[in-house]
Amino acid sequence: ETGVTQTPRHLVMGMTNKKSLKCEQHLGHNAMYWYKQSAKKPLELMFVYNFKEQTENNSVPSRFSPECPNSSHLFLHLHTLQPEDSALYLCASSQASGRAVDTQYFGPGTRLTVL
Protein backbone atom coordinates (compact mmCIF):
# COMPACT_ATOMS: atom_id res chain seq x y z
CA GLU A 1 0.00 0.00 0.00
CA THR A 2 1.80 3.15 -1.16
CA GLY A 3 -1.26 5.37 -1.59
CA VAL A 4 -0.14 7.81 1.11
CA THR A 5 3.54 8.33 1.78
CA GLN A 6 5.21 10.29 4.54
CA THR A 7 8.77 11.50 4.99
CA PRO A 8 10.78 11.29 7.06
CA ARG A 9 9.71 8.15 8.91
CA HIS A 10 11.71 9.16 11.99
CA LEU A 11 12.79 12.59 13.16
CA VAL A 12 14.70 13.72 16.22
CA MET A 13 14.89 17.45 16.82
CA GLY A 14 15.83 19.91 19.50
CA MET A 15 13.41 22.45 20.87
CA THR A 16 15.01 25.29 18.90
CA ASN A 17 15.09 23.48 15.54
CA LYS A 18 12.82 24.04 12.57
CA LYS A 19 11.81 21.01 10.57
CA SER A 20 9.05 19.95 8.19
CA LEU A 21 7.05 16.77 7.73
CA LYS A 22 5.90 15.87 4.24
CA CYS A 23 2.91 13.88 3.08
CA GLU A 24 2.01 12.89 -0.47
CA GLN A 25 -1.06 11.03 -1.66
CA HIS A 26 -1.28 9.20 -4.96
CA LEU A 27 -5.01 8.44 -4.79
CA GLY A 28 -6.47 11.45 -6.55
CA HIS A 29 -8.12 12.64 -3.33
CA ASN A 30 -9.17 16.17 -2.51
CA ALA A 31 -9.02 16.16 1.28
CA MET A 32 -5.95 15.71 3.47
CA TYR A 33 -5.53 15.50 7.22
CA TRP A 34 -2.92 15.65 9.94
CA TYR A 35 -3.40 13.55 13.08
CA LYS A 36 -1.31 13.18 16.23
CA GLN A 37 -1.00 9.74 17.83
CA SER A 38 0.38 9.76 21.35
CA ALA A 39 0.87 6.71 23.53
CA LYS A 40 -2.27 5.63 25.40
CA LYS A 41 -4.38 8.39 23.81
CA PRO A 42 -6.85 8.40 20.92
CA LEU A 43 -5.76 9.79 17.59
CA GLU A 44 -6.21 13.55 17.65
CA LEU A 45 -7.26 15.40 14.53
CA MET A 46 -5.06 18.45 13.99
CA PHE A 47 -5.85 19.94 10.59
CA VAL A 48 -8.10 19.30 7.61
CA TYR A 49 -7.65 20.59 4.09
CA ASN A 50 -10.28 20.38 1.38
CA PHE A 51 -9.27 21.33 -2.15
CA LYS A 52 -6.13 23.03 -0.70
CA GLU A 53 -8.16 25.16 1.71
CA GLN A 54 -7.85 24.65 5.46
CA THR A 55 -11.27 23.76 6.82
CA GLU A 56 -10.34 22.61 10.31
CA ASN A 57 -7.80 23.66 12.91
CA ASN A 58 -8.48 21.67 16.03
CA SER A 59 -7.01 24.22 18.48
CA VAL A 60 -3.49 23.29 17.51
CA PRO A 61 -0.65 25.45 18.92
CA SER A 62 0.94 27.83 16.45
CA ARG A 63 4.29 26.03 16.69
CA PHE A 64 2.65 23.60 14.22
CA SER A 65 2.05 25.23 10.85
CA PRO A 66 0.43 23.28 8.02
CA GLU A 67 0.79 23.97 4.32
CA CYS A 68 -1.11 22.45 1.42
CA PRO A 69 0.29 23.67 -1.91
CA ASN A 70 -1.90 21.30 -3.95
CA SER A 71 -4.34 18.43 -3.39
CA SER A 72 -1.57 15.85 -3.46
CA HIS A 73 0.86 17.36 -0.98
CA LEU A 74 0.60 18.35 2.65
CA PHE A 75 3.33 19.68 4.92
CA LEU A 76 3.57 20.24 8.64
CA HIS A 77 6.16 22.83 9.57
CA LEU A 78 7.53 22.52 13.08
CA HIS A 79 9.33 25.15 15.15
CA THR A 80 10.18 25.58 18.83
CA LEU A 81 8.49 22.34 19.79
CA GLN A 82 8.22 20.97 23.30
CA PRO A 83 9.13 17.47 24.51
CA GLU A 84 5.41 16.69 24.95
CA ASP A 85 5.00 17.11 21.19
CA SER A 86 6.87 13.83 20.73
CA ALA A 87 4.42 11.48 19.03
CA LEU A 88 3.57 9.71 15.80
CA TYR A 89 2.21 12.18 13.25
CA LEU A 90 -0.13 10.62 10.74
CA CYS A 91 -1.29 11.98 7.44
CA ALA A 92 -4.49 10.79 5.80
CA SER A 93 -6.43 11.55 2.66
CA SER A 94 -9.95 11.00 1.39
CA GLN A 95 -11.97 11.83 -1.68
CA ALA A 96 -13.63 14.70 0.19
CA SER A 97 -14.18 15.59 3.80
CA GLY A 98 -17.00 14.76 6.15
CA ARG A 99 -18.97 12.20 4.18
CA ALA A 100 -19.28 8.58 5.30
CA VAL A 101 -18.39 7.29 1.87
CA ASP A 102 -15.08 9.13 2.04
CA THR A 103 -12.91 6.57 3.77
CA GLN A 104 -9.70 8.04 5.05
CA TYR A 105 -6.49 6.34 3.96
CA PHE A 106 -3.51 6.73 6.25
CA GLY A 107 0.20 7.04 5.70
CA PRO A 108 2.80 5.18 7.80
CA GLY A 109 3.46 8.18 10.00
CA THR A 110 6.50 10.14 11.13
CA ARG A 111 7.83 9.21 14.57
CA LEU A 112 8.89 12.55 16.08
CA THR A 113 11.09 12.86 19.14
CA VAL A 114 11.70 16.31 20.62
CA LEU A 115 14.70 16.54 22.92
Partner 1 sequence: AQSVSQHNHHVILSEAASLELGCNYSYGGTVNLFWYVQYPGQHLQLLLKYFSGDPLVKGIKGFEAEFIKSKFSFNLRKPSVQWSDTAEYFCAALSGNTGKLIFGQGTTLQVKP
- Does position 1 interact with partner 1 (CB under 8 A)? The reply is yes
Cα–Cα nearest to 46, from 72, 15, 17, 23: 23
Q: By CB under 8 A, what part of segment 47-106 binds partner 1?
A: 56, 90, 92, 97-101, 103-106
| Pick 66 or 107: Cβ nearer partner 1 | 107
Sequence-separated (6 or more) residues with CB below 8 Å from residue 22:
6, 7, 73, 74, 75
Sequence-separated (6 or more) residues with CB below 8 Å from residue 115:
12, 13, 14, 15, 83
| Pick 14 or 103: Cβ nearer partner 1 | 103
CA distances to 20, 54, 86, 89, 108 from 10, rounded to whole Å, are 12, 26, 11, 10, 11
- Does position 25 interact with partner 1 (CB under 8 A)? The reply is no
Question: From residue 2 to residue 21, what is the string marking binding to partner 1 with x (rule CB under 8 A)?
Answer: --x-----------------
> Which residue in the set 109, 110, 112, 114 belongs to the binding site for partner 1 (CB under 8 A)?
109
Q: Which residues form the interface with partner 1 (CB under 8 A)?
A: 1, 4, 40-43, 45, 56, 90, 92, 97-101, 103-109
